[in-house]
Amino acid sequence: MENEFERIKRLPPYVFSEVNSLKAKLRSAGKDIIDFGMGNPDMPTPEHIRRKLQETVDKPGTGRYSSSKGIPGLRKAQAKYYKRRFNVSLDPETEVIVTLGSKEGLANLAQAITSPGDIILTPNPSYPIHPYGFIIAGASLRHLTAMDEGIFNQELFLEKLDRSIRHSVPSPKAIIVSFPSNPTAQIVDLGFYEEVVKIGIKYNTYILSDLAYAEIYYDNNPPPSILQVKNAKKIAVEFTSLSKTYSMAGWRIGFAVGNKSLISALTRIKSYLDYGAFTPIQVAAAAALNGPQDCVSEIRNTYKKRRDVLISSMSRSGWIIPEPKASMFAWAPIPKLFQKKGSLGFAKDLMLKASVAVAPGLAFGEYGEGYVRIGLVENEHRIRQAAKNVKKLLG
């Protein structure tokens, strides 16, 4: 019966599900699996944000339907964040929308703007909703890879992007960019966005930027926003999220900001689909953005310490992993001994023989093969333990 629906047929079995079911099986047999598999933050949401939620829940009327585009106070808080962090001015009425996590926003924007036969350019490897949001919406995808020995190469990407657009008939409807990248952790500079915006304007192609890891960076090098580029608002929207910045993944609050036609299309489609997040969650989200930001530095520092422990302890175990400059992931080449097994085979071996779960690179697209993604979602002690287990495996 599963194969009777055309749209479902276009969704391949989630590669994660194979790894996840093995993990569940081992856990139910009593195995302690050190789980770096999902980008699911383990740190608690900061206390003042939780308190704000609790206070607001007790106020009258908060159980009513909320506003599908987000309460004004939260949209204003997001506009203020863009002003202080990127010096980008946004009109909270027409250039900001609250989404039920950025994933929902990306998927519904794809529904809102896609016509049958539209071409979308997406990087590969990438976070699955980038291609699949558009596949579900009925678009045709062109994958852009610019990996050079597993490392993202900005110049190569721009060259390929320009070439792909020139040879696409009709011109692509949209390009997706997402840096710091999940899964590769690669970052870009403002010069990269300047070129992407130039190309987008030249070919009348929208740009969707996903900046989920805006605040998860190391080495004092905050990732830029595409909206810092002059004229970017003519063609670009950007998605951000509270999931990682404030460890609020389960709260489901994200944003899209920028180009008015895209924000208006997303607002329109969402007005048919949802009533917005629970109001107290939105009030607490505004408190997160407007309140003290030292909690963000603490979260960032915790990821940084874990990154340092991961890179150094794995290297002592014989697994050399490049140091990520941002995001909550390390993108690790499969050790020589296991290369023939591919990323799925290696991920299974790691789980079965070292009790360590990672995400196989193949889950993020064919050009992710040869790598696994390690999420910094276990504490330092467990990272060290994982490295000991890996040492035995690599023997």
Ligand X SMILES: Cc1ncc(COP(=O)(O)O)c(C=O)c1O
Per CB under 6 A, residues contacting ligand X are 39, 101-103, 127, 178, 182, 210, 212, 241, 243, 249, 254
CB of 181 to ligand X, least distance (A): 7
CB of 79 to ligand X, least distance (A): 18
CB of 394 to ligand X, least distance (A): 28
Return the number of the residue (243 or 279) whose C-beta is nearest ligand X: 243
Return the number of the residue (174 or 212) whose C-beta is nearest ligand X: 212
CB of 130 to ligand X, least distance (A): 8
Which 3 state secondary structure label does DSSP give 352? Answer: helix
CB of 251 to ligand X, least distance (A): 9
Which 3 state secondary structure label does DSSP give 156? Answer: helix
Return the number of the residue (118 or 210) whose C-beta is nearest ligand X: 210
Backbone angles phi, psi at 185, to 5 degrees: 70, 10
Return the number of the residue (129 or 354) whose C-beta is nearest ligand X: 129
Residue at token pair 């929208």:
206
Q: Cβ contacts of residue 207 below 8 Å, gap of 6+?
A: 174, 175, 176, 177, 196, 197, 200, 226, 232, 235, 236, 237
Measure the CA–CA gap between 360 and 151, rounded to whole angstroms.
16
Q: Of the candidates 47, 67, 79, 77, which has an alpha carbon nearest to the alpha carbon of residue 278?
A: 67
CB 136 within 8 A of CB 110: yes
Beta strands in 251-310 (DSSP E): 254-258
CB 105 within 8 A of CB 239: yes
Return the number of the residue (101 or 361) whose C-beta is nearest ligand X: 101
Return the number of the residue (182 or 385) whose C-beta is nearest ligand X: 182
Measure the CA–CA gap between 277 and 233, rounded to whole angstroms.
26
CB of 243 to ligand X, least distance (A): 3
The amino acid at 2: E
Measure the CA–CA gap between 376 and 302, rounded to whole angstroms.
9
CB 11 within 8 A of CB 135: yes
CB of 252 to ligand X, least distance (A): 7
CB of 182 to ligand X, least distance (A): 3
Query: End-to-end distance of the chain based on CA atoms, in angstroms?
Result: 46
Return the number of the residue (216 or 310) whose C-beta is nearest ligand X: 216
Return the number of the residue (126 or 302) whose C-beta is nearest ligand X: 126
The amino acid at 387: A
